[in-house]
Structures are given as C-alpha cells and as structure tokens.
Amino acid sequence: MINEKVELLLNQQVTHELYSAQLYLSMSSWFSAKNLDGFAKWYYVQAYEEKAHSMIIYNYIIKAGGRALIEPIKAPPHDWDSVLDVLNETIKHEEYVTSLIYNIVDVARQEKDFKVDQFFQWFIDEQVEEEDNANKNKGRFEAMGMDGKALYLLDQEMGARVYTPPVLLTTLEAE
Ligand code: FEO
C-alpha cells in the first residue's frame, strides 16, 4: 500500500533520476570529445549511479504495491563552455535533486507514509555524498588550475573511479 500523492512523486523521481543519467552521460561524451578520458570515465560511472537510483525507486514502487509509470525523459544539453561550467552545472543539478528528495520526505510525512519517509533516508545520505563529490571535483579543479600538466594529473585521478552497484539495489533485486 502506497499513498497516491507519494506514488506520483516517486514516479516523477524515477524520471528525474533517469534524466540525471542522461545529463551525466552527455557530460561524459563532452569530456571524451575534449580528450579528457578520466573526467569522461567519472561521468560515465555517475550515469550508472543515477540509473541505479531510478531502479531503486522503481523497485520500491513495485514492492510497495504501486504502479510504476514510465515517462519520457527530456534531452539533456550537449555543450558546455568549459570544464568549470560542467562542474558548476553538476553542483547545481545535485542541489536540485536534493530539493526533490526533501520534498518527497516532506509529503510522505504529511501523508503519514512513514515507510517512504524511512526508505528515503538512504537518498538523503546519498545526496550528501553526491553534493560533496560535485563540490570536491570543483575544488580540486580550481586548486590544480588549468595548467596542462595539472589537468592531466587530475584527469588521471578522475579516471580511477569504478562503478559498484549500490547494495540497496542488489538487495531489492534479490528480494
Ligand atoms: Fe541520483 Fe545524483 O542523484
């Protein structure tokens, strides 16, 4: 049993998370075109993470007895002015996603859907990490500067990121 208002918001969040995946894949492609393969890898992994977020919510809707309604995903931008522009947009986007998650928890509490309230505490923690990652990437970029060698080193560090599916998703899929 899932509250109707909350179910609508969860369905919308599935689409928001899929849009995040599209946005980060587009950013990954932009970095690839600039031969910044490490940044491209980082954003490629991030696209997988966002897809995982959407699948977690999708699984939750199904398991709570709701109906997941799959909606179109709008096209992301394809071009940015600079690396800093991408990093800033990432921060802005994650702050927006955090506000969406807060709204879900807020409405779940109003509607006394305490299961969703509890379940979404994972997403609140996840958003702390997502915002922190986005801010750290910008901070490191600014600290190292645009100098070619520093950018090369930072690009190599970014490329070390590896995708690991969230335990919550593998648990939900195994249930
Ligand atoms: Fe799914 Fe980047 O938040």
- CA distances in angstroms from 132 to 56, 60, 82, 137, 170, listed in the order given: 21, 26, 21, 9, 24
Q: Which atom of ligand 1 is nearest to the CA of 54?
A: 1
- CA distances in angstroms from 150 to 35, 53, 140, 157, listed in the order given: 15, 33, 10, 11
Which uninterrupted H or E stretch holds 150? helix 148-158
| Tens digits of pLDDT across the chain (175 residues) | 789 999 999 999 999 999 999 999 999 999 999 999 999 999 999 999 999 999 999 999 999 999 999 999 999 999 999 999 999 999 999 999 999 999 999 999 999 999 999 999 999 999 999 999 999 999 999 988 778 888 999 999 999 999 999 999 999 999 8
Pocket, ligand 1, Cβ cutoff 6 A = 17, 20, 50, 53, 94, 97, 130
Q: Which atom of ligand 1 is nearest to the CA of 24?
A: 2
pLDDT one-digit tens code per residue, 32-65: 999 999 999 999 999 999 999 999 999 999 999 9
The pLDDT score that the predictor gives to residue 147 is: 80
Q: Whole-model pTM above 0.75?
A: yes
Neighbours of 82 (CB within 10 A): 10
Task: Measure 20 CA to ligand 1 centroid, in angstroms.
Answer: 7
144, 148, 154, 159 alpha-carbon torsion, rounded to 10°: 170
